[in-house]
Amino acid sequence: MIRSIRQNSSESVKLTARQRRAIPLVLPARNIEEGCRSARITTQTWYTWLREEGFKAEVDRQREEVISEALDRLKAAVNEAVEGLTALMGAEEKNIRLRACERVLDFLLKSKELEEIEERLSELEKAVGGKRGGI
C-alpha cells in the first residue's frame, strides 16, 4: 500500500479544506467516480476544481508523488523479481525452464534496445543543441 499522500504543501496553494481532503481520496482510487464518492463530492465538482490553476497544480504534484513512491517500491522489488525468475531457470519442469529463459532473454533484449534508443536520442539532442548555438 502506498503511504498516504502528504497534504502539507497543499497548504501553500490556496485550496479549501474540502479540496485538500478530496485530493488524497480521489488520486489513489480505481477511477474518478469511486474517488469522488470516497471524498463525498460529485464528479462535476472535481472537474470544476480541476479548471482552477492552483488546484490542478496541487493534484499534479500529488499525483507525481504517488507515482514516484510506487516506482520506488518497484525498484526495491526488482532484485527479488530477478532472483525469482532466474531461479525458475533451474526448475524441473521443462516448460517452466523454457518460459523463464525466454523472459530473461526478452528482458535483456528490451533493456539493450532502450539503451540504444537513449544513446541515439542523446546524440540527436547534442546535434540539435549544437545547431541552436549557431543560430
Given a cut of 90, whether residue 54 has pLDDT beyond it is yes
Same domain as 72, residue 133: no
Domain final residue pick, 76, 99, 126: 76
- pLDDT score of 129: 85
Same domain as 114, residue 57: no
Q: Which domain holds residue 125?
A: 89-135
Answer yes or no: are the C-beta atoms of 109 and 115 closer than 8 Å: no
C-alpha cell at 23: 485530493
Shortest CA distance to 87 belongs to which of 76, 75, 99, 72? Answer: 99
Domain final residue pick, 43, 76, 109: 76
- Separation in Å, CA 21 to CA 28, 78, 110: 13, 34, 41
27 φ/ψ angles, rounded to the nearest 5 degrees: -60, -45
Given pLDDT bands bounded at 50, 70 and 90, which one contains residue 91? very high
Q: What is the mean pLDDT of the chain?
A: 88
Shortest CA distance to 5 belongs to which of 95, 70, 53, 96? Answer: 70
Per the domain annotation, does 84 fall within a domain?
no
- How many structural domains is the chain composed of? 2
Given a cut of 60, whether residue 77 has pLDDT beyond it is yes
Alpha-carbon distance of 36 to 46, in angstroms, equals: 7
Same domain as 51, residue 113: no
Given pLDDT bands bounded at 50, 70 and 90, which one contains residue 132? low
Same domain as 43, residue 109: no
